[in-house]
Each structure stands twice: as structure tokens, then as C-alpha cells.
Structure 1
Amino acid sequence: MHVSRVLRSIVAVASVGAVLVASPSWSATPAAKAVLKPTVHAHASRSADSGPAVHHDTSPPLRELWQKSRQLRRAPHVTSPSKGPHPSLTKAPGPDRVVQNHDGNRGRIRSGVSFEGIREGGGVPPDPNASVGSRQVVEITNFELAVYSKSGATLLGPLTTQTLFSGFGGPCETAQSDFLGDPEVRWDSLAHRWIINQFASDDGTTTNRLCVGVSRTADATGEYYRYDFGYQNLPDHPKFAVWPDAYYVIATANAAGTLFEACAWDRHRMLRGADADQQCYTVPASTIPLGSDLDGTTPPPRGEPNLLINLGPTDDSLQYWRFHVDWTHQARTTLTGPKELKVAPYIRACESTDPTQCVPQAGTAQKLDSLSYSPMYRFAYRNFGDHQSLVFNHAVDARGGVGVRWYELRLQHGRPVVHQQSTYAPGPTYRWMGSVAQDKVGDIALGYSQSSSQTHPSIRITGRLAHDPRNLMTFHETTVWTGAGSQTGSNRWGDYTSMAIDPVDNCTFWYTNQYQPADGTGNWNTRIASFRLSDCQTRRQRGYRHR
């Protein structure tokens, strides 16, 4: 969030495939761990951060912590612009051949519930994301957390994210706002629990933590099992994923932004509040990979590794790793990769100028960061029984603007293949900061920010049905909310938005993003909206099959 935006100007590195077999588990204290050198290694390696959580406990109900603390909203903290431009990787041959330059013909998407989320929490970027449980919606930003009913009523908050760690001790409770952030919230659809994660540090260099809360029940306002895991380097920009054998997180592992750390947390022990280990590996890459993140209640086949995805060393490829964790015999844990997956060539957004000063806005010369050097959260996984499917996106140049390149990958014998891919760019405007997911029959919804020199940043969505022709978003682009202002004074629009699936019907999408109600810095609002692309319940009953 605040500490290391210099990491956005990431130096590309070439990495080679490797197979790593983990060493046996050990239980050294954080002080005894060896310091990682900020150098680029040719292969992934076991990290000294592996070992037990520094501390864990069980919290009082979050609603009681909120009533006791009633912490004031923090004063705005404005981050400095990214240090760019981002150095180019090896360019791919030829232009983008999979641009969708026309809108879909299915008509606009009808919204279900739409309501205001957290607003004006102070500073930029807000990094809004949300998840949906059996009865509640939980939204989190860099600054605050709130719990809503599915009709949009506020059940709890907004409260500062640190409220969850009141009485816990260490930087999770005491870190200042400059060294706290990049939170994410996820619903564990197999266990019916909430998981909240964010980084915290005393000063960004010495005592570094990832702070994790796992709810004891399906009620997000109740008690949490709290954990903090220690790191030698600041785990900035962490990306979190739910998988049956572990909770996976990938974050930065050195100040140069050339080395990242992939960690598995012992999910089964954390779900009951027991002592829990993490197994971590350092991974050389061009930017932070995403871990496959489970949607639905059908788990992957037993023993299926968590798949890590990243943009490739050339702009016609992706990279992937397979992370299989073994908690009984940690020496059997393996991290294999990277392997390369060829895709249609693309040009990263504003690569020829500056991707960190890329997206124009109406009424201001301030341009926004496209984050085109990074895959966008989430790497959503779903097991349909007859196939396993994963979707994600990133921002690319698109005929006078910026478009969203999205992919559906499918696993064949455990290896990903490209099932479909396209750059959504109907018309010369700028679309970025996307998030994508699938419902239980394979319909795909894509949400993103949109802006141009004539329009303020707005929230839009599109989608496709599973049986539609491949490589096309077939629904007409639909505006969820039109911004009334532009962001001035900072290029940091955000690190992610979020598309989530309602676990009750596995048909309803919930999208969360930000907008400006007026020109300014730190005066953002967020919006949460639900919608369906089809009556997927009926189609399931009719024996619907995917293309």
C-alpha cells in the first residue's frame, strides 16, 4: 500500500524452470531466521520465513471490539506517485489479434442490489475489495472494514481494519497507517468462514507481519482466530487465495521488486484456532503472481496443486508454477516452475510512455496508474466436474485506449491451456483495474474502471454466457455507477477491485470498485452491486453443458 510503491517500477528478470523439494519443517523463532539477500536467484528456494506463526489467539467478537474502540477515522494519507516508467520486457511480435472492438448484442445487464460502500476513508489508493458469505457482505479497504446485509444495510462499521487486532499486540495492533494496508477479505466456501489478511510493520524494514483473521463462524461480526506470520522483508502487495490444503499468499520479498515470496498457511489448523505453520518459497519473477482462488463448493481433485499465474517474460506468454503443500511430511512439499504458456501477443498499457501515468480523466491533467505490469486479482478457480476452469485479466493497449485482456484457462492433466482469450475494448476509451469470475454454469462476468479525457472514472461491467461463441463478451457494456469527479494529486487509483460469487446460489455476482463523487484527492467512494447474467439455476437443472 504505502511503503514501497517503488516496487511498481519493477525490473524484469528472466527466470528458469525448477523443481524444488522442501526441506523438513523447523521451528526457529523469527529472530533466528537468516536475512534474505535482495538478489535475484535463478530458481525458487525454501525461504527462511518458513515456520510457525509468531503469535495467535482468539479475539472477542468484532462487534464488541468496535464498540470498545470506536476509533476515529484516520487523517488522509496520500501516497507518492509510482516511480516510473516501468521498464519494458522483451516485446512480443505483432499487434493484439484478439481485440473485441464492438459491444455485445445481448443487451445491458440488470443490476440486483446496488449500494454505497465504504467512503472517504482517507488517502489513496483505497484498494477496495469485498466478498460474500451465506448472509453477509464484507468490504475492506486500506483504511476500513464494514459488514453489510445482502440488501445493503450496514450491520457493522465502518471501523478501522486494526480494530480486529485490538489486544493482539505487535505491529498488527500498533503499526502506523504508513506501514499497514493492502488488505483482502475472502469467504472460504468449503468451511463457511471469513478470512481477512493485511500487512503490518513497525517501520517497513525490521518487524514485518501478515496479520490474518479467520472467523469462528459464518458471522463476520463474531469472534476470530487471529494469527501473525513473520517475514524478514516487508510482504507488500500480498495476494491471497483459498485452497483446500492451505491458504496461499504471494507478496514481495525484496525492495528491488525482483523476488517474491509464495507462502502456504496451514488452513485446517487455522480453522480451529490451533498452532499453525507457514511454508514459504522465494520466487524470481517480473511481478507478483496470483494463486488460484476457489469459488463454489466443489473442491479441486484431491492433491491438485495450487496454480500460480503471472505475466510472462515476453508479451506473448504467461508463466505458471504448481505449489503442492504437504503438512504431514513437509519435506514432500514441492514448488515447480515457472513453465511458459503462449498466448496472443499484447502490448502492456502505455508501455511506450509510462504505465504509471497512463489513464486520462476529464477536467485534469492527472493521469492514473494502469498497473499493466501485473495480473489483476483474482485468479478465480471453479471445478465444473467435467473440467476445471480459471479466469483472470490484465490491462493492455487497445487501439487508442486501454482494454482488459481476459483469459479462461482450463487444466488438462494438471497443466493449464488457453480455452479462450480476448481484449475487451469496444471503442477508444480506457478500461483497467478489472476483476473476473464465473458462476456455477460457466457464465463469466468482468468488472473494471473506465475513464477518458472526456469522462470521469466510472464503474462498468460486462459478461458472457457459457454457451456463447468463444473469445467474446456478449453483453452490452453496463455502467454500475458514473463518477462525478476525477482524482487529482495522485496517480494511485488502486491495486485491485473484486468480483465475487454469492455462495448461496452460485449464480449472483457481486462487484466492488471505487469512484470519485467530486474532484479531489482521498475523497473517493466505493460502490457494491449485485447482478446475474442468467437464470443459471434453471439451466443447471436442464443438464446444461459448457462449450
Structure 2
Amino acid sequence: MHHRLIPLFALAVTVSSGAIAQEMQQIPVGPQQPIQQLTTAKAVVVDTRQFLPQVNVEKRDLIVRPENPFKPPWREMKVEPNSLPVGEVQDYQRIELRDGRALFPGIGYTGWIPPDPDIGVGPNHILGVVNVDLAFFTHAGSKTFQQPISTFFASVGAGPTADLFDPKVFFDRIHQRFVVVCLEMKTSPQTSKVLFGVSDDADPNGTWYLYRFEAARVISGSNTWADYPGAGYNKDAYVVSMNQFTFSGFAFRGVQFIVIRKSTVLSGGAATTHYFLDTNEFGAQVAEMVDSSIDRVYTASDFNSGNMKIHAFRNLTTTPLMDSAFLAIPSFTYPSTNATSPGGRSLDVLDGRLINVVFRNGKMVTAHGVRSPTSSDNVVRWYELNTNNYPSSAMTVAQSGNVAGTAGQHYFMPALFINEFGDISMIFTRSSSTIVADIMVAGRKTTDAPGTMGAPVLLESASGSTYGFSGFNRWGDYFGIETNPNNETTFWGVAMTGTTSSAWRTAIRDWNVTLPVTLNSVTLNSSTVIGGNSVGGQVNMSGNAPSGGYVVSLSSNVPAAATVPSTVTVPSGSSTAGFTVSTSVVSVDTAVTITASFRGTNRTVGLTVQWAWVIVNPSSFAKVGIHISGNLNSLFASDDDRMRLGVDPGVDQFPPVQLFLSATAPVANPSKLEFTLETRASTTFRGQRLMLFNWATNRYDTVDYRFPGLSDSSFTVSLTSSASDYIRASDRLMRAYIAWDDLASEVAGLWNVDIDQSNWKIFR
């Protein structure tokens, strides 16, 4: 079915991104200083593995939190409709439910209404929260841990008589930690706290550092408490936002922000916190700043029907500053009716506040519920903003769109996320007079037309015929969504729906907008290389890398023979990246495995590093004359370990001293053959002849003749074009013959020869 939304004010919806852009206006004040700095005690350290039983599901009485009736006065400001365009839903579907796996249950009904479900997604685990429980899941859906949040935070003094509510969770991609935030409030004595926990690693079941930050604040003479938090982070800080209401009369007094210096809490130290206050803002949400290089944290809120209010927190490692600005957005109308549901029920759609904010690669995305421009139906509105390094430059609206159903259907409670490709997906609720409460997802690829979103896809319907009580029912107050850190194309979301008993339940599911990019292979330009040379290689992905590229790890199992760089980066827009394998000289052919690793997937390729040359030592010898000392091993190296041969006075043979050597070559057709000989004689004038056997002519060839001295003298004979003639093809046998004679007199006296080195060197 074609889900069509009439654009606001009958604007055309297919426009260029440049036409969508709208600059923001700076608020005419300088950066705001913090109103307070506090340093807390060190964290209370807990180990969740000590909670027994690990899965502890408690039964509770029904608790329905009242809806906040506050409407900020600035929302009532008359805003002239603007001509900024809004896109629509398309016929095509962008959601891939590729594995066909059913949704798995999140945390079940706890007695609290609404549940406020949220999730943080780590490499191998999911942390889910609701009012007011916390649970750990594997990616396969196995629940490994569940406890009341009051139990989890009991060691920092949370409760037991206070209300704990509005839990939030996210996975800090930069430092690989789970972070949990929950609010605590009691009217007598007046108490308002932010419960804050950060895990010590990417496994939530283990060590946690827990804190309890002050949230009560006297504003305009009245003490206030915190409600409806936002939570986000960057490389330097965690930031929590809260609506502040008076304890007496619940009057709204503004938004309070707590900036928590990361370096002080990641190991459980005394936390350094800075507080900020904006009395002209409501419902600010803090961005998850996924990029590890960004030095600021952004927040956003709907200020009125034509503007957002933006903050940038910077200088986060010293004394933070808060910059503020307004950004004109496509105008809208706040929700005027709740969502219909069968059986005379209606579901709370909130008040048009933003649900969550995410930053990625210079883009910031957010969403909220608004009224359809053509009816009283509720629709989802989403935005993508160009942050332009604000406050250095003004933000602009890159694109915006509405997601709506057919007449009479309500789309509401959207949470969205952007992956590293720039693809966006959201999870939300659909209801109508015939639909109790469906969990829906929709998505768009970065290459889609500006402002458009693919057709929504049903994840799960309510299992009962009605939900809740007759009349108005709380819903939400928010849902959760993140991408898988191991696979950025996979989105994970949590949302609520109804049960057969008209209670709520939550469900967790993964899906794709773009099929995952994987490491297909690692290849080499050649499977063999002579040691001492290099060979080119390439990693091959299944799709193009996004902005920032993909980092693929490389390793060699025999680094003594072949080395590779530790990483190679596949550049943005490409699916391949080259690298160089450097090799060392080896004495024998060496098999090497090159491994490329990317997000848990390994690909390998084999390489044979061949010897470039090899020393071949004699394997046997024979002699004429007396063998005085030394052995075959004495001939292998120039090390003063010598074989000594002498004249045998009882044998009349000329030459009087001879040495026959044999060896086996590694190949029959080398590019070059060398023979090295190092000798000395006991007297002068001893002629020395070196001969190598030529298998082509079947005789010895004299390759050198000289007179050895009284001290060691070494030389090398090189043969190139005829090298293979001196190796027998059938068995690669080589022979050498060395003879010493006395040319000074016809009758030889007693003398000897020392041979320190005598061997071949074979080149490929």
C-alpha cells in the first residue's frame, strides 16, 4: 500500500538538499558558564555477577505515572507557516528482516505504566531498561540477568521509599561501556537525584561504577525535581538533561543539564560534574555523539512549531561552556488528539517533544510526533541536520520528512538512529480504531531522495484485542534504538505493545536498512615471492565504505618471513584497499598465512616465501693424503674450525693432497651458482686448483687456480649462464675437486693445507 503524506502547505516534496537547508539563528548572548561545579565521592563498585538469583522478576502493584500537563508558553507563540519542505513515505520498502528470526521478549510487565523501554546495544550483549527493571540479553535473545533498578542502585542509597523512574541506557561506542541513567524523587523530604552507572567494559554482567548525583535545584525561589531525562555522550563527557518541576504544585521551571567529565568516572573515581540551566526550554534531548573525534556534545528540543533550540557543550575536559541557538525547521502542528485504539481506548502520544538525538559524520538526526497537516491523525516527523561544526558555523536543516499511515491511522512515539553510512531507521507505534498497537519500523538509505522514507514494516502486533483501560492510557514514554557496533547496518530496537490481558510487554528485534558490508576476501598479486622482495595485496569488501572508511586488521603467522601493516583502511566510497607484504630472506621455502579481520570475520590467503639463495654445504668428502684434523662440518663456515689435510709420505701420488666434495642442490636450474673456498697452506708455493664437475661434458672444469698463502684466504667463483651444467638434472648432484701440489721441487716435502670453508651458494 502507498502510504502518502500531503506535504505541509502543499509543498513539492522532491527537492534538492540545498533547497531544504535553513540556517539557524544565534541567541544573542555569549556562551553560558556552568551555574555549579560539584565533585562527588568515588563510585560505589558493584559486581552484577554477585546478584542472586541472576534473573529476579518481582511482582509489583499497579503504578500509573500521571501525564505531565505542562505546555511551555513559548510553544503557544504564533509562528508563521514557513515554506520549508517535508518529504513523504515511498512505495518501496527499505527494511530487510533478513534472518527471519522472531522478535524476542524484552522485559515484561512490571506493574508500572508506562514502561519507558530503552536499550543499549554492545558487541555481544543488549542492556534493556523499563520502569523500573534492568536486564541483560545476548544478541540471540537469551536473558541472562534481570533485577529491579532499585536493587541495582541500592548501594548508592537509592530508595527504598523514593520513586525511581524514567530509566535511560546507551552503549558508549567510544569507550566500549554501557551507561544507565535513572531518576529518583521523593516529596518528603524533598529529594531529587540522578542515578548514574557505567560498566567497566562491553560486557554488562560484571563490574559497574555507580553514582548518585544531585538533581534538586532551587529556581526562582522554589525547589525543583528532575523529570524525563535525556542522556548522551562524546569522547570527553556524559551529559544528562532533565525537565525541572517544583515540588509544590509541579510548576515547570526549565531544563537542567549535568555535564559529567568522563575521565573521572570511567575507572570509578570522584566524579567532576558541571551544572547548566535553561529556563526557556522544555524536553531537551542529548545526542549520542558516536564519532570519536568530536569535542562537543549537542542537544536539541522543539521550541515551538517552527523552531528547534540547539545547545553545544564544549571545553568538556576543563570548564565547560554552553552555546545556544534557534534553528528554523519545517513548521508543524502539535498533536491535538491521542491515538485511537479498539474498545474505546486511546493511547498517549505525548506532546510533540523530541524523543532522542543522534550525531554521526557531521549529521544530527531526531524525531517526534506531530499532527497530520490534513487531519487530526498523528504522524512521525524526522529531521536530519547539518551540524557544520556549530558553534563555529550555523547548523542547517539538511532534510525533513513525515511518516504517516492511511486515514485514521496514528503513527507516534518515534525513536531513530543513523548508521555510519548515513542510513536512517526508526521504530514507532501504529494504532487505529482497528489496530491495538503495532510495533513498526521504517528506514531510508542515504542515496534516497531528500525527505523520503521507505514504506513502514510491521514487526509485531499486540496479542490482545484491546489495551489498557477504557479511555486514556499512558504509552511510551519513549522507545530505544541503536545499531550493532559489530555491524553498522544492523539496527536494534525496543518498543512496547499489548498483551492478551491488556497489559504491556516489550519486544526487541534487529533489522537492516542496508544489508551488512562484510569482508569478502583478502588476495595477493602472487602466491609466491622470493624472500627479500615484496608483493601487493588487497582486502575486498562486499560494499563501499562510508565516510571515515573501514579499518581492516592484518596479521602474518610467520612475521620472521613476511610482515604486513597492522591495519589497512578501505577509503570512503570504495570496497577495496591495497597493502604491501614485505618479506625477508629465508633459507628454505616458508609457507605464510596472511589474515585479514573485520568485525569478527577473518579471511586468509596463503603466500610462499621462497629462498632467494641458499648455502649448500658438502654432504660427503673423499681425500688423497693424510686427514690430520677436522671433519665435514669444519667446511661449512668461515669460523676457524678447519679441516687439515697433509702429504702422505708413504704414497707416491700427484698431486699429493686432494679433496673431493659432493652435495645436492635444491634446484636443477639455478640462475647463478657460486662456490666459496677459504684455505691456507703451511708453506708457500703450493699450487691450488679448484674444479667443478660439468655434467654436460662429463668432466671436471678448472674454475680457479691460485697459490694459497700462509694465512686464511677466501675467494668465490660465480657461474651464471652455465650454472645448470654443474648440477646433474636427475638428482641435482654437485661435485667439486680441489688439489694442492708442490711446484717448487720435484720431490714433495712434508706440508699440509687447512680448509676453513668450502661450499656452494645456489640462486633461484
TM-score by length of 1: 0.82
Larger radius of gyration: 2
Matched, 1:164 2:152: yes
* 2: CA distance, partners of 1:409 / 1:123: 35
2:467 aligned residue (472, 477, 486): 486
* 2: CA distance, partners of 1:84 / 1:367: 20
SS in 2 for 1:235: strand
Partner of residue 347, structure 1: 333
Partner of residue 532, structure 1: 512
Partner of residue 104, structure 1: 91
SS in 2 for 1:118: coil
1:176-201 deviation per Cα after TM superposition (whole angstroms, max 9, x unaligned):
4xx21101111111111111110113
Contact 1:465 1:533 in 2 (8 A): yes
1:322 aligned residue (312, 316, 320): 312
The alpha-carbon deviation at position 110 of structure 1 amounts to: 1.6
Contact 1:346 1:396 in 2 (8 A): yes
Matched, 1:368 2:347: yes
The alpha-carbon deviation at position 108 of structure 1 amounts to: 5.2
Give matches, 1:133-152, under 5 Å: 133-152=122-141
Partner of residue 241, structure 2: 250
The alpha-carbon deviation at position 251 of structure 1 amounts to: 0.3
TM-score by length of 2: 0.59
The alpha-carbon deviation at position 72 of structure 1 amounts to: 2.9
Partner of residue 368, structure 2: 394
Structure-2 change in CA distance of 1:151 and 1:231 (3 Å): same
Partner of residue 681, structure 2: none
Contact 1:102 1:427 in 2 (8 A): no
Contact 1:325 1:334 in 2 (8 A): yes
The alpha-carbon deviation at position 99 of structure 1 amounts to: 5.1
1:396 alignment partner AA: V
SS in 2 for 1:93: coil
Structure-2 change in CA distance of 1:21 and 1:98 (3 Å): closer
* 2: CA distance, partners of 1:525 / 1:258: 34
Contact 1:95 1:346 in 2 (8 A): no
1:477 alignment partner AA: P
Contact 2:94 2:514 in 1 (8 A): no
SS in 1 for 2:446: coil
The alpha-carbon deviation at position 55 of structure 1 amounts to: 6.0
Larger deviation, residues 71-80 vs 97-106: 97-106
Matched, 1:288 2:277: no
Contact 2:93 2:456 in 1 (8 A): no
Contact 2:95 2:443 in 1 (8 A): no
The alpha-carbon deviation at position 102 of structure 1 amounts to: 4.7
Structure-2 change in CA distance of 1:102 and 1:293 (3 Å): closer
Contact 1:109 1:462 in 2 (8 A): no
The alpha-carbon deviation at position 422 of structure 1 amounts to: 0.8
The alpha-carbon deviation at position 97 of structure 1 amounts to: 6.9
SS in 1 for 2:437: strand
The alpha-carbon deviation at position 202 of structure 1 amounts to: 3.6
Partner of residue 198, structure 2: 214
What stretches of structure 2 of length at least 5 have no aligned partner? Answer: 1-25, 217-223, 518-541, 546-569, 575-764
Contact 2:88 2:401 in 1 (8 A): no
Structure-2 change in CA distance of 1:464 and 1:395 (3 Å): same
1:422 aligned residue (387, 391, 401): 401
The alpha-carbon deviation at position 138 of structure 1 amounts to: 0.9
SS in 1 for 2:401: strand
The alpha-carbon deviation at position 370 of structure 1 amounts to: 1.5
Structure-2 change in CA distance of 1:204 and 1:223 (3 Å): farther
SS in 2 for 1:456: coil
* 1: CA distance, partners of 2:94 / 2:232: 33
Partner of residue 180, structure 1: 164
SS in 2 for 1:234: strand
Contact 1:54 1:230 in 2 (8 A): no
The alpha-carbon deviation at position 345 of structure 1 amounts to: 1.2
Structure-2 change in CA distance of 1:368 and 1:273 (3 Å): same
The alpha-carbon deviation at position 153 of structure 1 amounts to: 0.9
Structure-2 change in CA distance of 1:68 and 1:477 (3 Å): closer
1:403-441 deviation per Cα after TM superposition (whole angstroms, max 9, x unaligned):
111001112242321111011114221111001111211
Contact 2:200 2:207 in 1 (8 A): yes
* 2: CA distance, partners of 1:102 / 1:51: 47
Give matches, 1:193-204, under 5 Å: 193-203=177-187
Larger deviation, residues 495-504 vs 202-211: 202-211
Structure-2 change in CA distance of 1:412 and 1:342 (3 Å): same
> Cα RMSD between the aligned structures?
2.5
Structure-2 change in CA distance of 1:210 and 1:286 (3 Å): same
Structure-2 change in CA distance of 1:284 and 1:376 (3 Å): same
* 1: CA distance, partners of 2:488 / 2:200: 23
2:232 alignment partner AA: A
2:181 alignment partner AA: N
The alignment-based identity, stated in percent, is 20
Contact 1:19 1:334 in 2 (8 A): no
1:299-348 deviation per Cα after TM superposition (whole angstroms, max 9, x unaligned):
243x3x211211124x11211111114444x2xx21121x1111111111
Partner of residue 451, structure 1: 431
Partner of residue 11, structure 1: none
* 1: CA distance, partners of 2:458 / 2:426: 12
1:476-534 deviation per Cα after TM superposition (whole angstroms, max 9, x unaligned):
210011113322255310221011111111221001000001353xx210010101111
Structure-2 change in CA distance of 1:68 and 1:535 (3 Å): closer
Structure-2 change in CA distance of 1:539 and 1:417 (3 Å): farther
Partner of residue 129, structure 1: 118
Partner of residue 335, structure 1: 322
The alpha-carbon deviation at position 86 of structure 1 amounts to: 7.5
Partner of residue 506, structure 1: 488
The alpha-carbon deviation at position 143 of structure 1 amounts to: 1.7
1:285 alignment partner AA: N
Structure-2 change in CA distance of 1:104 and 1:224 (3 Å): same
Partner of residue 272, structure 1: 267
* 1: CA distance, partners of 2:70 / 2:265: 40
Contact 1:238 1:249 in 2 (8 A): yes
The alpha-carbon deviation at position 294 of structure 1 amounts to: 2.3
Q: RCO greater where, 1 or 2, for CA within 8 Å and sep 6 or more?
A: 1
Contact 2:363 2:386 in 1 (8 A): yes
Contact 2:120 2:170 in 1 (8 A): yes
The alpha-carbon deviation at position 96 of structure 1 amounts to: 8.6
What stretches of structure 1 of length at least 5 have no aligned partner? Answer: 1-14, 23-45
Give matches, 1:80-99, under 5 Å: 80-83=66-69, 88-94=75-81, 98=85
SS in 2 for 1:508: strand
Structure-2 change in CA distance of 1:69 and 1:367 (3 Å): closer
Structure-2 change in CA distance of 1:230 and 1:84 (3 Å): closer
Partner of residue 360, structure 2: 382
Matched, 1:436 2:416: yes
Structure-2 change in CA distance of 1:83 and 1:345 (3 Å): closer
Larger deviation, residues 452-461 vs 81-90: 81-90
1:234 aligned residue (221, 225, 236): 225
Contact 2:261 2:316 in 1 (8 A): no
Contact 1:390 1:409 in 2 (8 A): yes
How many residues were matched structurally? 478
* 2: CA distance, partners of 1:275 / 1:374: 34
